[in-house]
Amino acid sequence: MTGTLVLVRHGQSEWNLKNLFTGWRDPGLTELGVQEANAGGKALADYGIKFDIAFTSALSRAQRTCEIVLQNVGQPTLETIRDEALNERDYGDLSGLNKDDARAKWGEEQVHVWRRSYDVPPPGGESLRDTGARVWPYYMTEILPRVLRGEKVLVAAHGNSLRALVMVLDRLTKAEILELNLATGVPMVYKLNADSTVATKDVLGDMSGAH
């Protein structure tokens, strides 16, 4: 019997609100972000799941989201492993810049390419493929074996690190993953087959709120 993998993107951060490229910078959650994390946690509580272990990134917005979710499911002291392999994509020289200012500096088209191509990184940063190159091995060695042993595993992370995982789980093409946005605080519940393919996927909330 295989287990369950739950992915949650962190709630809105202070820099999401200010329209800044965040990457590996470490702003906290906004009030709305806390509300989104609580809503995701309540949805999981209503779903009736109890976790065996949680994974999150080395960044506080994901860690706080993880804590809030675990409080809502009644497991505030659950073992939680933090690793920068699950960090957001590194935006390099764009980190901390307002997205409109970046467009003014480099041009709309160039910034769009950096944000939305699969394998073109911004200066000093990571492409989505680069992000996947650290997320996928970590998933294969640390997370997937637990799920295949029957454990229920929570991963609270970031838009791009989770997109890299969803790309593998949902078997999306490079073109399809570029169209995918993950809503903040909305849990995705995967039950896996013994061969690690997806048996079922439930989205506990409204994905249309993605940004």
Provide the CA 43 distance to its chain's centre, in angstroms.
Answer: 17
Closest CA to 165 of 151, 147, 150, 149: 147
Pairing of strands 152-157, 4-9: parallel
Provide the token pair at 113. 């390419």
Mark whether 108 is an active-site residue: no
φ, ψ of residue 102 in degrees (nearest 5): -65, -40
Q: Which of 36, 67, 88, 126 is catalytic?
A: 88
Annotated active-site residue in 10, 36, 67, 126: 10
Q: Are 35 and 63 in contact (CB under 8 A)?
A: no
Q: Are residues 5 and 23 in contact, defined by beta-carbon separation less than 8 angstroms?
A: no
Q: For the beta carbon of residue 185, count every other beta carbon within 10 angstroms.
A: 29
CB half-sphere exposure, 32, CA atoms < 13 A: 9
Q: What is the separation of C-alpha 93 from the centre of its chain, rounded to a whole number of angstroms?
A: 22
211 is catalytic: no
**Catalytic residue list:** 10, 88
